[in-house]
Amino acid sequence: MRDFLARLASRASVLKGVLPLSRAAAARDALAGVQLASMDIPQVLGYARIAGMPAVTGLYTVFLPLIAFAFFGASRQLVVAADSATATIFASRLSTMAPVSSAEYASLAAMVALLTAALLLVARIFKLGFLADFLSRTVLVGFLAGVGIQVGIAMLGDMLGLPGHAARSTDQLVLVAHDWAQVNVPTLTMSALVVVAVLFFKRFWPRLPMPLIVVVAGIAASDIYGFAGQGIAVLGPVAGGLPPLRVPSVTWQQMLDLVPVAASCFVMIVAQSAAASRVFAERHHETADTNADLLGIAAANAAAAFSGAFVVNGSPTQTAMADRAGTRSQFAQLVFAAVVVVVLLFFSRFLQYLPRCLLASIVFTIAIGLIDLKTLFAIRRESPGEFALAVFTAAAVVLIGVEHGILVAVALSLLRHVRHSYRPHTMILAPGDDGMWVPVPAVPGTQTAPGLIVYRFGADLFYANDHFFVDDTRRLIAHAPSAVRWFVIDASAITDLDYSASRSVGELCGLLKRNGIKVIFARVNRYLRSDMDRHGITPIIDSSCIFGTLHEALRAAGVEQPMAS
């Protein structure tokens, strides 16, 4: 039977994250799934709070969406559920379109999930998993730090027992400062104790499901001592039972307004999910299939949309929790979903006694976890420029909002890449202290040998940077200590040459040739050679001046000089 299921799954390209599965592995993953549920259920309740949705919808995100990803996804480790980053992205926009936790708000959230599913499906069809590579890890760290700060600020009202709430982080801080005299002392005390306890046990005993203990103890104490009658806000009645299946109902104009929100969620999902699946696949010596995971996450978001939930994401945080719990396949997530069904059917009525400050405090600890200070300090130490980008991204998220912050993050990632290509490092081979040739920065006045310059341009040549190549060449020749007769171009970093750059390079080579300077290209790969042939550069310099290695090029220039390794 097991072999039959494996063959069927292989042919249908489903259950890749579950099969193959032995009895021993199933027992191990079942136990891990129960442990994951004990740790994750309080968190998804918190994510629902971040999303502005009823608490029970957090449980909905770890029911049908988990099953959908286990069926269609490929990653054996990735946990697809509610996530603070995506929840913050759509909540920041939806809160301006409808009252938080209202039926209209829930419909809008479901439509965002459906639109996100559509974008993910399109990405899967056109195999756009590579898009994850364009959001750099540096900027992603800054973005998540900004999300953590924003979420932490948003939770302050409930943690302090203040009635007001503002959509923007700056407005929320002003509100807290203005209403500070109204702080509810018992609420503040409970919040502080919860934050300290959760962070302490997370540091020294991470396997203990402290958030679950806090939730259970808080519900019991609230029921026994009547917290609601003592000025401590509680969740109130929570709908039980399985989620109702329905199509999101919104107007055409609302749907159009939600497209940018879904696009922002899509970008974050692709980036985070790909990063998480790759990291944990490598940890367990498995291969990651980003495009197959896109299909799984698309199915999960469609399931969320039709079951009254909200956008789900491949969460790095929850995947790390699952890994610590010992999960090795999506079977653990199926067991997790089964535990959620039990909670929905038999225990959801107890959630009404849960103090809001406890839930906000748990969310606050989640927000703190998003601020990866260790990585930020490492970036600052190794690359101050990238650290500045990370900080700028975090500030953008806090000051202008998550929806625009993700766009800033993508733009900065692309800008950083373009900047390196636009102004690459250039080098010259020059005599070192021991007489060996070594690469040094391409500074005018430097020469490889009398009459010879060996020059390296550190990026592809295209319309935006070709003038650097031309200007560098002219300055190096003009300021050379002796008249240059041979100009050797080390093209090892050049794999592409567009039309604009080819015109500039061709004109430069023609000018140097007329001035009696022999231009030689070394380390030319076949792709560059094809471009040189197609754009007419080869006839200008002569095919006998194009070589696959630097040694061949130097021999053609009549030079035999060993180089430092």
At 305-341, the pLDDT tens digits run 999 999 999 877 677 767 767 778 889 899 999 999 9
Q: Is residue 186 part of a domain?
A: yes
Final residue of a structural domain among 417, 445, 472: 417
Residues 446 and 334 in one domain: no
Residues 79 and 226 in one domain: yes
Q: Is residue 47 part of a domain?
A: yes
Final residue of a structural domain among 417, 443, 478: 417
Q: Which residue has the higher pLDDT, 14 or 549?
A: 549
Per-residue pLDDT, averaged over 63-79, amounts to 91
Residues 388 and 253 in one domain: yes
Q: Is residue 563 part of a domain?
A: no
Q: Are 148 and 368 in contact (CB under 8 A)?
A: yes
pLDDT at 294 over 80: yes
Q: What is the CATH number of the domain that holds 447?
A: 3.30.750.24
How confident is the model at residue 146, as a pLDDT?
Answer: 84
pLDDT tens digits, one per residue of 283-292: 677 777 888 8
pLDDT at 253 over 80: yes
Residues 323 and 440 in one domain: no
Residues 463 and 329 in one domain: no
Per-residue pLDDT, averaged over 106-110, amounts to 94
Residues 485 and 406 in one domain: no
Residues 368 and 435 in one domain: no
pLDDT tens digits, one per residue of 408-461: 777 777 777 777 777 888 999 888 777 788 899 999 998 988 999 999 999 899
pLDDT at 36 over 50: yes
Residue 211 to residues 37, 258, 528, Cα–Cα distance (Å) = 11, 33, 58
Structurally, the chain folds into a number of domains equal to: 2
Residues 328 and 364 in one domain: yes
Q: Is residue 137 part of a domain?
A: yes
Q: Edge-to-edge strand order for the sheet containing 437-441?
A: 437-441, 426-431, 452-457, 486-490, 518-522
Final residue of a structural domain among 417, 451, 467: 417
Q: Is residue 274 part of a domain?
A: yes
Residues 485 and 525 in one domain: yes
Residue 302 to residues 119, 170, 311, Cα–Cα distance (Å) = 11, 34, 9
Per-residue pLDDT, averaged over 93-116, amounts to 92
Max mean pLDDT among 159-168, 387-396, 433-442, 474-483 falls in 474-483
What is the pairing mode between strands 426-431 and 452-457?
antiparallel
Residues 404 and 526 in one domain: no
pLDDT at 14 over 90: no
Q: Is residue 24 part of a domain?
A: yes
Residues 165 and 310 in one domain: yes
Phi, psi of 235 (to 5 degrees): -65, -40
H helices present in 161-251, as ranges: 169-178, 185-204, 210-225
Q: Is residue 562 part of a domain?
A: no
How confident is the model at residue 134, as a pLDDT?
Answer: 67
CB atoms within 10 A of CB 483: 11
Q: Are 222 and 353 in contact (CB under 8 A)?
A: yes
What's the pTM? 0.69
Residues 308 and 427 in one domain: no
How confident is the model at residue 295, as a pLDDT?
Answer: 92
pLDDT tens digits, one per residue of 183-215: 888 888 999 998 999 889 888 887 777 887 888
pLDDT above 90 coverage of the chain, percent: 33
In which domain, by residue range, is 531 found?
Answer: 423-556
pLDDT at 10 over 60: no
Q: Is residue 564 part of a domain?
A: no
